[in-house]
Amino acid sequence: MSTVNDINEIDDPADANALVDWFRASTQYINAHRGKTFVVLLSGEAIASTHLDKLISDLCLLQSLGVKLVLVHGARPQIDTAFSVANLANDYHRGIRITSPESIETLAAVVGAESIKLEALFSAGTSTASAAPLTTARNEALVLTRGNFVTAMPIGVRDGIDFHHTGRVRRVKAEAIAKRLDEGSIVLQSNLGYSLTGEVFNLTAEEVACQIAIAIKADKLITLVPQEGISDAQGKLIASLSPADAKAAAERYATSNDESEKVLSTAIEACLKANANGVHRTHLIGYQSNGALIRELFTREGAGSLISADSLDDLRPATIDDVAAILSLIRPLEEDGTLVERSRELLETEIDNFKVIELEGAIIACAALYRTSDELAEIACIAIHPNYRNLGMGARLLQSLSADARGFGIKRIFVLTTVAAHWFIDHGFKEGALADLPFHVFKSENFVPTGEKLVVTASDPDRRIVKEFNAAGAADERSALPHQPLEGLARGRPVLPPS
């Protein structure tokens, strides 16, 4: 069944509209991720879960959108089960499996079977409801490539214990992987590696994924874990972390008696190592949550935890390409009356006045500076996405625009607001009177008193003077003014309480 038919068969028009809105909003992420290389770690636990078919479908979607994929899989629980059935020793030391000469053949067979299982699923279709073979963007059959991409070496003897066929990554054949990716293949790599002498070694899937990501200079390392991601002490998902905070979380999970939390700790350590070696974005995403991979990569809200040493967001001047994203951000505030409505055409003409904060390709905050005269300017339209409030975004925008104003030689800046007075006062502004501002500010057709209390903020760079006035009184004064709108300058419009 085609995607178009699926949309047409949605019974609730609101659901259909929501799907369309989401698809439109995802454009910026699709463009941002196209041509990028992601290494995805699929643990044995994820393979054993009932959500595997949906994960495969989501991975295929990534590939069809132009993402280059390397898929690394493990088989830890499958190996444990096979060893138990075969009465083989299932010993660990410091969390690492000891792979004896008697067990390596069984282990290799189990891992090979999981690789074949994944190949079969990728070949079957994008979902259990589709019998059509997967195709690439060039309408060619999707191809998975396996090979001896990882050269291994033995761990050897540690603490007097011989690990036998348990090994470490010695080298990754990065050029060979890159060639397969450029050909349009998904590269599939198991947790097995081969030595220069032809021996087979059991590696940890976390190390394999980490070392491949480093070697091929991947844009992202994505680990699929049992939890939603990293949580704080109250159990709330943490959307983004610095390496230092992630390290603390890994140490906390490592001491847990919950086996799944120890798995999460190992995944975090792999992400941290990759991050320290040039992979600037690493993610932990829950494989048990339907669509979490897509939501983390293609929505502003996300659905996992991102680890990065870089500044996770970018405060920059807005461009004409940001118009759609800014409109999407401010539209709810216009609908509830917090902001005066702007048309696309108006925003396009005013875009040079705006600054935005961008996170992972998404605009999450905006604000504008309007110069009303050589010495006076207005800060307006501060809007923060709900998921990113209380993170100092509004203060950063205010500070940046104030610095711009000083650079322009502006002596005073002001804000007109119905709802954010206290926030601006907390940031050094004081209440001001209508008389503090030139008459021409109120000639703007967008300045419409509502009978509520408004706050005018007027400031010079070092001292802020603000007084409160009643909009009803301002209405009388405004009525005596000529109706000559200010030419694209002052916009007397309320703003959202930033944070």
- Summarised one tens digit per residue, pLDDT across range 265-304 is 999 999 999 999 999 899 999 999 999 999 999 887 789 9
Q: Which CATH number is 382's domain given?
A: 3.40.630.30
Domain around 416: 314-479
Question: Which residue, of 279, 312, 345, is where some domain finishes?
Answer: 312
**Are 324 and 230 in the same domain?**
no
Q: Would you say residue 484 lies in a domain?
A: no
Query: Quick one: 301 and 390 in the same domain?
Result: no
Task: Assess whether 426 and 461 both reside in one domain.
Answer: yes
C-alpha Rg value of the chain to the nearest Å: 28
Q: Say whether both 296 and 376 belong to one domain.
A: no
Count of CB atoms situated within 10 Å of the CB of 479: 9
Is the pLDDT at 8 greater than 70? The verdict is no
Using CA atoms, how far residue 185 sits from 66, 177, 329, 351, in Å, is 11, 10, 37, 41
For residues 100 and 113, what is the distance between their CA atoms, to the nearest angstrom? Answer: 20
Give the domain-ending residue among 282, 312, 342: 312
User: Do 298 and 348 reside in the same domain of the chain?
Assistant: no
Residue 200 forms part of a structural domain: yes
Whether residue 493 is contained in a domain is answered as: no
Given a cut of 70, whether residue 460 has pLDDT beyond it is no
In this prediction, residues 75-79 reach a mean pLDDT of: 95
- From 482, 479, 481, 457, select the one nearest 467 (Cα to Cα): 457
* Domain match, 337 and 251 both: no
Q: Rounded to an integer, what distance in angstroms lies between the CA atom of residue 155 and that of residue 255?
A: 24
Separation CA 325–CA 302 (nearest Å): 16
Q: Are residues 301 and 329 in the same domain?
A: no
Looking at residue 493, what is its pLDDT?
34
Number of domains in the chain: 2
- 98 and 211 inside one domain: yes
Among the three residues 281, 312, 343, which one is the final residue of a domain in this structure? 312
Over the stretch 413-443, which tens digit does the pLDDT of each residue have?
Answer: 888 776 677 777 777 776 666 566 664 554 4
Residue 308 lies in a domain: yes
Tell me whether residue 491 is in a domain: no
Mean pLDDT of 222-226: 95
Q: Residue 142 domain-assigned?
A: yes
Angle at 178 between CA 175 and CA 183, to 5 degrees: 130
β strands within 76-207, DSSP E: 92-93, 96-97, 144-145, 150-154, 157-158, 161-162, 167-172, 186-189, 192-194, 200-202
Return the CATH number at 275. Answer: 3.40.1160.10
Are 419 and 472 within one domain? yes
Query: Quick one: 439 and 424 in the same domain?
Result: yes
Asked whether residue 73 is assigned to any structural domain, the reply reads yes
Phi-psi region of 243 (alpha: psi -120 to 50; beta: other; left: phi over 0): alpha
How far apart CA 449 and CA 447 sit, in angstroms, is: 6
Instruction: Tell whether 40 and 127 lie within a shared domain.
Output: yes
CA–CA dist 26, 32 (Å, integer)? 10
Residue 318's nearest CA partner among 366, 372, 382, 360 is 366
| pTM score of the predicted model | 0.66
Q: Is 100 in the same domain as 216?
A: yes
Q: What is the pLDDT of residues 376-406, one digit of tens each?
A: 888 888 899 887 877 778 888 988 888 888 8
305-351 tens-digit pLDDT: 999 876 556 789 999 999 999 998 888 887 776 677 778 899 999 99
Would the pLDDT of 12 be above 80?
no
Confirm whether 349 is domain-assigned: yes
Q: Would you give the DSSP letter of residue 101?
A: T
